[in-house]
Amino acid sequence: MNLSLSNTHRGILLMLAASFLFALTMLFAKLLSDSMGSVEITFWRNAMGLIVIALFVLRKPIHNVGGRPFTLIFRGVIGTVALLTFFYTIGATTLSNAIVYAKTEPIFTALLALFLLGEKLKANAVIAIFIGFAGVAMLSGLHWDYLHIMGILTGFLSALAYTSVRSLKAFYDERTVVLSFMLSGVIIPLFLMIAAEYTTSDFFAFALSPFIMPTGRDWMWIALMGIAAAYGQIYMTRAYFYAKAGTISTVSYSVVLFATLFGIILGDVLPTPMVVAGGVMIVLSGILLSRQK
């Protein structure tokens, strides 16, 4: 009997592993949110990531064509702000809600591709977008408070960052793109934590929290968060090498299941039927859009 795996099966298994690791990253971020703000969590997540990426660069030097420095910087900055809003929602709501909000990214990616890249939308994609926004309305309960706005902003900014990456592929090694994101994710939070010592703002609550020196078990959560995030990124990248993007994008929604299970373990309140329905519609929308690729 032939037990060898096809490339598609390898890609699916790698994406499942990546989704599990991304959910673990959320779990450790949630644990850290009890003792520090989202800005510092973002800082440590990227600081650990820089170490891992630096090791990969030392093993294989980077070679870039170059020519798009402002787009590269833009991707780093936008990606960092998206991470700030994401970690804010993780600390302020359940893990299941936080990841479902983040998974609105394909909806905004489709819209940005239409308006910024001039790509045409098929009828199925238009329907999927409407389904997604209906799901967002149900998930929020039509109460657009600060938390829900941050959740939606996470999806939108993630889509903006993803769209910019597509325009960088021909000019930069993927590690350069990741490095620009990691560097921004260290430098920007540093400035924000310094600013938080002198000012407060309800409007920028997601971006202003002072530095708190980690103690005891926090260091373990920080290390595990960084390792899980880095290897999750590696496995996800490899998954796209083995299988079609549409297939891998669909499997990536398993992170919602993993995050929900971890949230239950932490004691998150079980979602109401309306929240579950809204989450299902958002996931369905994303899957439909991923199948268009």
Predicted confidence (pLDDT) per residue in 114-166, tens digit: 777 677 778 888 888 888 888 888 877 666 788 888 999 998 998 888 777 66
Rounded to 5°, the CA angle 68-74-78 comes to: 150
Contacts 24+ apart (CB under 8 A), 59-62: 62/173, 62/175, 62/176
% of the chain with per-residue pLDDT over 70: 91
Residue 88 corresponds to which tokens in the numbers above? 């804010």
Position 108 in a domain: yes
60 pLDDT more than 60: yes
Looking at residue 141, its pLDDT comes to 67
Position 158 in a domain: yes
Looking at residue 82, its pLDDT comes to 92
Count: domains in the chain: 1
DSSP code at position 33? T
Look-up: residue for tokens 């920080």? Answer: 222
Position 130 in a domain: yes
Domain that holds residue 72: 7-290
Position 66 in a domain: yes
Looking at residue 245, its pLDDT comes to 62
86 pLDDT more than 90: yes
Query: CA 196 to CA 37: how far, in whole Å?
Result: 11
Cα-atom radius of gyration of the chain, to the nearest Å? 19
1 pLDDT more than 60: no
Averaged confidence pLDDT in the chain: 84
Position 174 in a domain: yes
Please say whether the beta carbons of 75 and 180 come within 8 A: yes
Position 2 in a domain: no
Looking at residue 274, its pLDDT comes to 84
> Residue 2: which pLDDT band, with cuts at 50, 70 and 90?
very low
Query: CA 182 to CA 168: how far, in whole Å?
Result: 16
Position 45 in a domain: yes
89 pLDDT more than 90: yes
Please say whether the beta carbons of 100 and 139 come within 8 A: yes
17 pLDDT more than 90: yes
Amino acid (1-letter code) at residue 108: F
Position 1 in a domain: no
Please say whether the beta carbons of 98 and 148 come within 8 A: no
48 pLDDT more than 80: yes
Model pLDDT for residues 196-244, shown as the tens digit of each residue: 998 888 888 888 889 999 988 999 999 999 889 888 877 887 787 677 7
DSSP code at position 93? S
